[in-house]
Structures are given as C-alpha cells and as structure tokens.
Amino acid sequence: MSSFVIEAAGLSRSFGSTRALAGVDLSVRTGESLAIMGASGSGKTTLLHCLAGITRPDAGTVGFVSGAGRVEVTGLGERERSRLRREAFGFVFQQGLLIPELTAVENVALALMLNGMPRARAEEHGRGWLAALGLAGMEDRRIGQLSGGQAQRVAIARAQVTGASVVFADEPTGALDSATSADVMRALLDSTTGQGRTLILVTHDAEVAGRCSRIVDMRDGRIVGERVSA
C-alpha cells in the first residue's frame, strides 16, 4: 500500500469573522491525483494553500513525508516554508503567473536558478521539460506569443523542473476552452502521477476532477464527501 506524502489534521482557518476551514482532516498518498471540489467560498483554495505551506492555519497540523523523513510544515518559519516550496513542491495556477518579459525557457529555468543552478545548465533542463510537454521549438518565445494552453504547459514545466514530489494546481484549466483543458490535464497528469509524483488540484470543473484518481467535496470549510473517480 502506498505511503502518505501529505497528512493534515484538524485544520482551521478564519479570515476575520469568516471561517474558511473548520477542522479538516485529509491524507494524500504518494503518486495519487486528488481533486478538491466545492462552490466558491467552500474553503477549497484555503485548504490547498495550507497543505502547500503558503498559508499557516490557525489550528491543526500539516506533515510532508519524503525520503528524508517527515517535516511538520505548520511548525516551520516563513523562510523554511519558502525553501520547502522551492525545493519539494511545484505550483500551477489558473493564469500561470509567468513572467511575460521572459521567454518560455527563461521562465522554467528561473525555478532552478533560484535554487542555485547556473543559468546555462538551468536552461538546458528547462528546454528538456518544454520538449517533453510538446513545446519544442517554442522555447525562445515570450509568454504573449503563446496560446493559453501553451502557456499553461510552460507553467507545468516550471512546476516540475526542480523535481518536485508534489504539484499543487489551483484551477489550472479555468481559463481554457474544453479541448485545450483536456490537453493540459493530460500533460499535467502525464508529468506528475505518470512519473510517480503526486498531484493535488482545486477545480470547479467536474470533467477535470473526473480525470483524477480521487475527489473530495467541500462545503462551509469542511470535507462533506469523498469518492474514487471511475
């Protein structure tokens, strides 16, 4: 049986008088793809941010388990959490959050350069990931010269290039048409769970969620349902 890579217990988080999370327990297995669904305001993005160490919960714990052992994410300071996000986690957001002034390969290589890798080597690795994601020949285009689907593939390459064991995706296909969405999800799954990595994504799209191996449903800051995707 697969081991857990993320273990969360009793997560609570409020923003002013609004309770975004109300005691959430969730464990994620190594190599699985998990979709978190729910209406706007259900707490799904807050949960994703707590699992990824972006947001610190008011109460509860998040543990990250790797070959080096278990790290209590909620017990780390901001600098240590930033380092964990750079080295062990990858992120894909709805709009990609790419740097428009940089080329595709520069956007991908930047993730490695922030970890200390020399530029030439970082760009070599970046070109390899872009080629693997169907973007060979487009490495030197700026983001504005790419379609929405191509830009999201650049974001996927950036999320994966550091060897991240867990990729967090927040509405990664939300700005795409259905055909492009299907292509991007295929690329995202192939490069994560297809390589033994873990994918945790937030989506409102039932078709996107259905591509994942497990789905949890949220309402009012709580997990109210869970099912294995067909």
Q: Could you give all domains of the chain from N- to C-terminal order, each with its CATH number?
A: 4-228 (3.40.50.300)
Contact 192, 199 (CB under 8 A): yes
Please tell me the predicted confidence (pLDDT) of residue 184.
Answer: 85
Which strands form 222-228's sheet, in the order they lie side by side? 89-93, 166-170, 198-202, 33-38, 214-219, 222-228
Residues 84-99: tens digit of each pLDDT:
998 899 998 866 578 9
Query: Which tens digit of pLDDT belongs to each residue from 36-61?
Result: 999 888 999 999 999 999 999 999 99
The pLDDT of residue 1 is 38
Residue owning tokens 């169907």:
134
- Residues 6 or more apart in contact with residue 28 via CB below 8 angstroms: 4, 5, 6, 7, 34, 51, 166, 198, 200
Q: What's the pTM?
A: 0.90
DSSP code at position 94 = T
Handedness of CA 174, 48, 194, 118 (dihedral sign): positive
Tell me the H-state helices in the chain: 44-51, 78-87, 104-113, 119-132, 148-160, 178-191, 206-210
Strand 89-93 versus strand 69-72 pairing type: unpaired
DSSP state for residue 103 in the 8-state scheme: B
pLDDT at 2: 47
Q: Which residues of the chain register pLDDT less than 70? A: 1-2, 94-96, 230
Q: Amino acid identity, residue 78?
A: E
Is the torsion defined by CA of 121, 190, 24, 44 positive or negative? positive
Q: Assign 119 to helix, strand or coil.
A: helix
